Structure 1
Amino acid sequence: MKSVTVQGLTEKFHLEVLAGASRMDREITRPRTHRPGLEFVGYFDFFPMERVQVLGRKEINYLLTLSVEERKLHIGNIVKYHPPCFIVTSGQQEIPYLTLFCNQEGIPLLRTGDTTTEFIAKLDSYLVKALAPELSIHGVCVNVSGIGILLRGKSGIGKSETAHTLIRRGHRFVADDIVVLKKLGPSTLLGTHNETTREFLALRSIGLINVVRQYGRKAFQDETRIVLDIELCPWRENSLNNELELVPQFTEYLGVQIPHIEVQLQPGRDVAGLIEAAANNWYLKQLGYSAAEEFMKRIEDGMQS
């Protein structure tokens, strides 16, 4: 199971450590945070104890309305579940009672100056990606007109060269050789690099190039949602489909099905142009438009007239 340490979280978001400094190695294994409002009033039936607990102004102000004994009781009830850590937002100061409990139980207590809403949005986004199931595959990832595409095929077939042509046409490069796929939801697959290969594209006969240095920052992006899986393969005579509307094919990664297209290679074929057409066609289908349906409708209208 993937995890993030409290220490890593502290460094990522520049958090102030108020208590529990000896247990910064505690692991966070669940994405998304939790605000323990109901738990402070004694309702624990669905308490997600594995999540980071965020205390905003509402939670702190409520605790301040309680007597010392009530406060000890309510905080003690939550602390005994040993969540990974507590994070106080908005730079709130009136929390010495929390410091005492967290030191006693060895639970890190952290503080940020960000507002509760702002911080939770940032932290949730980070944890969802950091803890997402992932898979590394051989291929190239590009973003064509805002549409994430995974290019696959045998080594040396021309994936990187095709990506280079797309970059020169104004599209964006994401990853070459090793593409890391992350599952962010039931139908959401993110494509990114593995940090080591970030910005690098390997071109046969040329060598390694840095896309950002050669073509500028606009030619690269860190990640993209994958919506098309395109496989480059050798030309096979009499095997191209010429139907008006091809039967949908899919490739499955981490349980997410991605539309699959096969592009056969032959000297003279504008492979980059075909990929642009595939991306634009996918986008139009999302809007409910089908060129084949319009074509057939024109034929029917012509026959009726």
Structure 2
Amino acid sequence: MSKVTIKSIVQQFDLEVISGWDQLDRRRVTVADLYRPGLELAGFFTFHPVERLQLLGKTELSFIEGLTKAERQERFDRLCHPEIPCFILTRNYDVPSELVQAAQEKKVPILRTEMATTRFASKLTNYLEKLLAPTTTMHGVLVDIYGIGVLITGSSGIGKSETALELVKRGHRLVADDAVEITQTEEGSLVGHAPDLIRYLLEIRGLGIINVMTLFGAGAVRDKKRISLTIHLEAWQEKRQYDRLGLDEEKVRIIDTELPKLIVPVRPGRNLAVIIEVAAMNFRLKRLGYHAAQQFVQKLGEVIDEGDEID
């Protein structure tokens, strides 16, 4: 599970530390959701999500000012659960003394920012979602073809890197070779990029490692790309029945997202770069509403119906 330390959040947003300096490295955030504990300050603690960052803004602090000192003490004592990552106050509001006392007893850090609550919550949520997003690494090549992120997979030595080199020569852009780090930035969206060590590098057997950006220019590479299509290369199998119409659409699951998958057999004489290029263009046409195989089958059915009527 990905985790973010409170210290990294303090450094990222230049937050003021009111208390809990010794806990900044120890406490970690595991979820990107934030929580504004208005109901808890009113006395309802049944569903208090203690794993989230607790955000206190104008509404919460204005409400707590209207309570008696005894009520404030009781609410903050219950609110300061030991598992809470930290409290963050916005707009540089004064920190209630009862909160400081309760937080110090439970060793929960208290932070403060001058930003407005809504703006800070948006920035912090985006930051946490980026760092806490599910991530995996796959063996393959990621290429941007006509704006379509195509992930090329296959066994070692099948020709993935050579195909990527040909695609780059045809004007497309390399994202990653050999190892593709994939992050699920949101539901149904996968973004791939190369590890820092091998960024812009391409390994060609018999030639070695080449730097695509140095050889072909900055326009031949890009840092990251959303993955829309996967193409699996495999050695031609005589007994296997390959899809010849394009009606059967396979899917592959990466993390929690399903992507269309095409299986392209490899044999001498087949230009894989052209095939993959056309596959990307055809995929884009399908997204625009034109499906050549379905229209062919529809027209074929109409011809057959007309022939039956004549008979």
Relative to the length of structure 1, the TM-score reads 0.82
What is the one-letter code of the residue matched to 1:211?
M
Give 1:120's aligned residue. 121
Contact 2:6 2:85 in 1 (8 A): yes
SS in 2 for 1:126: helix
Pairwise CA distance, 1:85: 1.1
Any stretches of 5+ residues in structure 2 without a counterpart?
A: none
The 3 A distance-change label for structure 1 pair 228 and 88 is same
Query: Deviations along 1:242-301, whole A, 9 cap, x unmatched?
Result: 632342222233354332212233455442332233223333334443212222334455
RMSD of aligned Cα (Å):
3.1
> Shift of residue 50 of structure 1?
0.5
Q: Is the 8 A contact 2:29 2:53 kept in 1?
A: yes
Amino acid of the residue matched to residue 275 of structure 1?
Answer: I
> 1:237/1:129 Cα in 2 relative to 1: closer, same or farther (>3 Å)?
same
The aligned residue for residue 19 of structure 2 is: 19
Deviations along 1:23-70, one digit per CA (max 9) or x if unpaired, are: 012121223222222222122222211011222332233333444433
Q: Indicate which of 211, 219, 229 corresponds to 2:221.
A: 219
Conserved 8 A contact 2:82-2:106: no
- Aligned residue number for residue 4 of structure 2: 4
Range that drifts further, 160-169 or 289-298: 160-169
User: Residue 140 of structure 2 aligns with which residue?
Assistant: 139
Give secondary structure in 2 for the equivalent of 1:231: strand
Distance in 1, Cα, partners of 2:40 & 2:221: 48
Q: Tell me the residue number matched to 1:259.
A: 260
Larger Rg: 2
Segments of structure 1 that go 5 or more residues without pairing to the other structure are none
Structure 2 SS opposite 1:163: helix
Contact in 2 for aligned 1:23/1:107 (Cα 8 Å): yes
Look up the match of 2:158.
157
- For residues 89-108 of structure 1, the aligned pairs below 5 Å read 89=90, 91-97=91-97, 98-108=99-109
Deviations 1:189-237 (A, max 9, x none): 4433333333433344142416389522783133x33332211233455
Match of 1:200 in 2: 201
Name the counterpart of 1:285: 286
For 1:261 and 1:282, how far apart are their aligned partners in 2?
10
CA distance in 2, matches of 1:168, 1:69: 74
Normalising to structure 2: TM-score of the pair?
Answer: 0.81
- Cα 1:261–1:107, aligned 2, differ >3 Å: closer, same or farther? same
Question: How many Å separate the matches in 2 of 1:228 and 1:262?
Answer: 11
SS at match of 2:248: coil
- With over 3 angstroms needed to count, the CA separation of the structure-2 counterparts of 1:195 and 1:38, relative to structure 1, is farther
**Structure 1 residue 100, shift from structure 2 partner:** 4.3
Q: 2:189–2:257: 8 Å Cα contact kept in structure 1?
A: yes
Q: Tell me if structure 2 keeps the 8 A contact 1:174–1:220.
A: yes
Q: 1:177 to 1:13 in 2, by over 3 A?
A: farther
Q: Percent identity?
A: 37
How many angstroms apart in 2 are the aligned matches of 1:193 and 1:42?
Answer: 49
Taking structure 1 as reference, are residues 121 and 170 closer, same or farther at Cα in structure 2, changes over 3 Å only?
A: farther
Structure 2: how far apart are the matches of 1:217 and 1:113?
A: 41
Is 1:211–1:220's contact at 8 Å kept on the other side of the alignment? no
CA contact (8 A) 1:189 1:226 kept: yes
Count of residue pairs brought into register by the alignment: 303
The separation in 1 between residues aligned to 2:220 and 2:136, in whole angstroms, is 27
Shift of residue 160, structure 1, vs aligned partner? 2.4
Q: How far apart, CA to CA, are the structure 1 residues paired with 2:167 and 2:250?
A: 24
Say whether 1:230 aligns with 2:231.
Answer: yes
Q: State the alpha-carbon separation in 1 of the partners of residues 179 and 204 from structure 2.
A: 14
C-alpha contact (below 8 Å) 1:143/1:174 kept by paired residues: yes
